[in-house]
Structure 1
Amino acid sequence: MSTDTGGPGGKDSNGTTKIDVRVPTELLEEIDEEYQRRGYTSRSEAIRDALRDWVEPTVQLSKETLEDLAASREQREHGETHSANDVRTRLGLDGEE
């Protein structure tokens, strides 16, 4: 991978640095087919977004987890839950030996 030094420190006036990356031809063809469909205006924009997701992945909860959270919320709203302190006290785990 090489960098193109557009200005001092390798950055251009937009605070970006150009890099060259070798990508398998088949993958590049898939990227070219997909980026506009997803609403990106350029290949570079799509790849930058993919790199951001790689560095800071978004958390996506499974359908099962979302359903469990909804059920827990309903239980709380119906008063069917207990605080951790109440449960510790009831089970004799309140710190007394």
Structure 2
Amino acid sequence: MSEAESPPDKTTVNIRITETFLADIDGTWKELGYNSRSEFVRDVLRDAVKHPDFNRADLKAMAASEVDIQQGRVHSSDEVMDEFDLDGDTEQ
């Protein structure tokens, strides 16, 4: 963004969720290394809008994989193939 451009205006949005779900969100954004809950929620919503083809299972798998990577856990290609029920055929 150049000096002449100003950042877009932001609007506060209020949502109602359970305390349990909020605790899950708070644990997740902290685990993933976000600086704030708002930053995490903005990214999640942006991804949902920009990539609507992803379903909840895909997003959860990506988040879990990111946590695994950050914590140094890796998986073999065979484990990944088994996890996602892939047969190794790269043709589509």
| TM-score normalised over the length of structure 2 | 0.49
Point out the structure with max Rg over C-alpha.
1
Query: Higher relative CO (CA 8 A, sep ≥ 6), structure 1 or 2?
Result: 2
| TM-score normalised over the length of structure 1 | 0.47
Structure with the bigger percentage of strand? 1
